[in-house]
């Protein structure tokens, strides 16, 4: 195992070279094991065979994760875009080296939309915009299914794609996305930047005149100041709070100030190439202080203010009805700055995660838009070239994740645990998942950063789905026996014994549970992996949960192995990488969270 201090020194060397524009990554040679060996470390004088099988980028994902945290901080502070891109590749190398993240395929998006519905659009990040839709059947209500009961409608607390869709149609930020997927001013009219002597950058945003909340009261720059400070604060503990980390004073003394009713000023530690994407992201949307703090126990339950219909917002629609776990009703907000362009008076949301029930509702005319399709129906929809079946581009990765602190690895060294996870990863038949479950052109994934994502320096981070990844995603298809043999080698290095039949011995079994939410495709992917693992005698149980329970269990690390997926929030790899810093609310793998760690 590499010493943490040696790794830190190596990272300092990398950062220094990057600051000089270096493009080559210096390697770090292994050093002697630390004096205090973790549980499962081989006795002194013996060699851990797993140590020879992990990559040079490997660090202990629990006890040495500060190396990754520091690298992400360096990336976010860098003004050298070429060096920044190189460091992001280094960060992904570290992230992938422990195999807690098991990429399965790169996302696209599918949905059903009636032919009389026009004007709905989506961006690459999965957010759907309904405010400019029209209905050519003469109705005044657009009936939609996005998902089941939302966990949060507070834009600062939401971390799901369906919640982001609801936020985008009920709130408005300083910027938004148009039908071409480009950012454009919303509550703002524009901004200017000023470079300061200390290297920081001050952004001055001008708001539109006459902005109003849905209750008719004035919305000013002070509302954005309050909302950003609230979202970033350690008290709120928002999953996405880390997105303010490049604002000076993060988390609890944010350098954000309302200079007057229409002028918002904030200072960042370095120039931000994706600043408009941040200002268009739900975590940066405004919430009304008076409404938030009127809720009982608002200080310890920050989302309590919008758990029922009637809450104040500032977007094109207002939530006017909510029968929990059944339906929600949104009505046009006459106080929205672009209300004259909103044609549809009402939106009705069916709250369900039952793909069959949703598809039935779509076919019998109960809903006009369905954001999911049963797996068993996709082949027919493709064969008949159904014009109401949409396949659109997304920028993200569907993956599974191991909990770095799972009891599954309790008696293993960090390197042995990594070998275990790698063995399971390489025997997954991703081609089967893409062809038979996804069915809509998904590409098998062998890296976390998705194909086609920009690199932040005028190029593309990854352009090839095989050669530029961390393993052959089709290895199990092209060389079945060879891949199984490699998996056995990795597991034997982790202390497992195999019989003459090539199956795990009863004396060293592997039994794990896969956690997933309801949804045909998610469960079927779990079943596919279950069969793949059985080829080596590994037993996996699938546990299904309702969406909101699943989210909490996953976030709290109450799992061995779970279903995951991440659609980028903006087109820069840092968005995919920063979510795994130790303190991130999206760090489901529990990286850096050792026993006694205090959030």
Class of domain 4-106+394-580: alpha beta
Every domain of the chain and the residues it spans: 4-106+394-580, 115-353
Q: Are 266 and 191 in contact (CB under 8 A)?
A: no
Residues 4, 9, 13, 18: is their CA dihedral positive or negative?
A: positive
pLDDT digits (tens, 9 = 90+) for 91-100: 999 999 999 9
pLDDT digits (tens, 9 = 90+) for 540-573: 999 999 999 999 999 999 999 999 999 999 999 9
What distance lies between CA 322 and its chain's CA centroid? 27
Give, in degrees to the nearest 5, the angle at Cα 73 between 67 and 78. Answer: 125
Q: List, run by run, the mean pLDDT of 10-residue segments along the chain (599 residues).
A: 39 36 34 39 68 98 98 94 97 98 97 98 97 98 96 96 97 98 97 96 98 98 98 96 96 98 97 95 98 95 97 98 98 98 98 96 98 96 97 96 97 98 98 97 97 95 94 97 98 98 97 95 97 98 95 96 97 97 97 82
Measured CA to CA, the distance from residue 477 to residue 475 in angstroms comes to: 5
What distance lies between CA 381 and its chain's CA centroid? 29
pLDDT of residue 46: 57
**Please, where are the H alpha helices in 413-499?**
414-426, 430-432, 475-478, 480-493
The domain defined by 115-353 folds into: D-Maltodextrin-Binding Protein; domain 2 (3.40.190)
Q: Do domains 4-106+394-580 and 115-353 have the same CATH topology?
A: no
pLDDT of residue 44: 53
Please report, for residues 13, 58, 73, 83, 551, the alpha-carbon distance to residue 10 in angstroms, rounded to integers and kept in the order given: 5, 13, 16, 16, 37
Tokens for 241, please give them: 């709070």
pLDDT of residue 38: 41
Among the listed residues 402, 194, 159, the one whose alpha carbon sits nearest the alpha carbon of residue 281: 159
pLDDT of residue 197: 95
pLDDT digits (tens, 9 = 90+) for 54-94: 999 999 999 999 999 999 999 999 989 999 999 999 999 99
Tokens 């659609």 identify what position? 567
Q: Which helix (H) or strand (E) holds 264?
A: strand 263-268
């Amino acid at each position: 195992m590499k010493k943490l201090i040696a790794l830190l020194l190596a990272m300092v060397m990398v950062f220094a070279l990057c600051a000089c524009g270096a493009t080559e990554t210096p390697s770090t040679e292994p050093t002697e094991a630390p004096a205090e060996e973790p549980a499962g470390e081989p006795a002194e004088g013996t060699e851990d065979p797993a140590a020879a099988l992990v990559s040079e980028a490997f660090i202990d994902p629990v006890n040495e994760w500060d190396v990754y945290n520091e690298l992400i901080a360096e990336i976010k502070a860098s003004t050298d875009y070429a060096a920044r891109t190189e460091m992001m590749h280094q960060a992904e190398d570290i992230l992938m080296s422990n195999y807690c993240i098991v990429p399965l395929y790169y996302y696209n998006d599918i949905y059903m939309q009636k032919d009389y519905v026009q004007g709905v659009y989506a961006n690459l990040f999965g957010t759907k915009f309904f405010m400019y839709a029209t209905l050519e059947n003469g109705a005044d209500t657009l009936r939609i299914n996005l998902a089941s009961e939302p966990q949060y409608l507070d834009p600062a607390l939401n971390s799901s794609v369906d919640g982001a869709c609801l936020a985008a149609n009920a709130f408005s930020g300083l910027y938004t996305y148009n039908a071409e997927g480009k950012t454009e001013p919303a509550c703002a009219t524009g901004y200017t930047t000023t470079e300061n002597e200390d290297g920081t950058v001050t952004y001055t945003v001008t708001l539109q005149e006459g902005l109003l909340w849905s209750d008719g009261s004035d919305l000013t720059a002070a509302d954005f100041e309050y909302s950003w400070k609230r979202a970033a604060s350690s008290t709120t503990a928002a999953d996405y709070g880390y997105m303010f980390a490049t604002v000076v004073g993060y988390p609890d003394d944010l350098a954000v100030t309302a200079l007057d009713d229409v002028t918002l000023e904030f200072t960042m530690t370095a120039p931000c190439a994706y600043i408009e994407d941040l200002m268009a992201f739900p975590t940066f949307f405004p919430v009304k202080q008076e409404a938030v703090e009127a809720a009982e126990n608002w200080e310890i339950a920050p989302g309590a203010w919008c758990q029922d219909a009637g809450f104040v917002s500032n977007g094109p629609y207002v939530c006017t009805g909510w029968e929990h776990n059944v339906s929600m009703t949104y009505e046009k907000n006459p106080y929205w700055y672009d209300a004259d362009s909103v044609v549809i008076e009402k939106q009705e949301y069916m709250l369900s995660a039952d793909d069959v029930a949703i598809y039935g509702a779509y076919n019998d005319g109960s809903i006009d838009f369905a954001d999911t399709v049963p797996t068993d129906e996709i082949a027919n929809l493709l064969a008949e070239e159904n014009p109401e079946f949409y396949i659109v581009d997304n920028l993200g990765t569907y993956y599974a994740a191991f909990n770095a602190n799972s009891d599954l690895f309790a008696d293993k060294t960090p390197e042995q645990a990594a070998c275990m996870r790698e063995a399971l990863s390489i025997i997954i038949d991703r081609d089967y998942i893409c062809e038979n479950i996804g069915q809509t052109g998904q590409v098998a994934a062998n890296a976390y950063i998705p194909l086609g994502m920009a690199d932040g320096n005028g190029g593309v981070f990854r352009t090839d789905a095989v050669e530029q990844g961390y393993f052959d995603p089709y290895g199990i298809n092209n060389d079945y026996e060879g891949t199984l043999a490699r998996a056995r080698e990795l597991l034997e290095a982790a202390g497992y014994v195999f019989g003459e039949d090539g199956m795990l011995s009863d004396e060293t079994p592997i039994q794990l549970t896969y956690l997933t939410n309801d949804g045909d495709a998610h469960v079927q992917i779990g079943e596919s992996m279950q069969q793949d693992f059985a080829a080596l005698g590994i037993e996996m149980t699938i546990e299904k949960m309702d969406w909101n329970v699943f989210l909490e269990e996953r976030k709290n690390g109450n799992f061995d192995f779970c279903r995951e997926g991440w659609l980028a929030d903006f087109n820069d790899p840092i968005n995919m990488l920063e979510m795994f810093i130790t303190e991130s609310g999206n760090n489901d793998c529990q990286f850096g969270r050792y026993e006694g760690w205090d959030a």
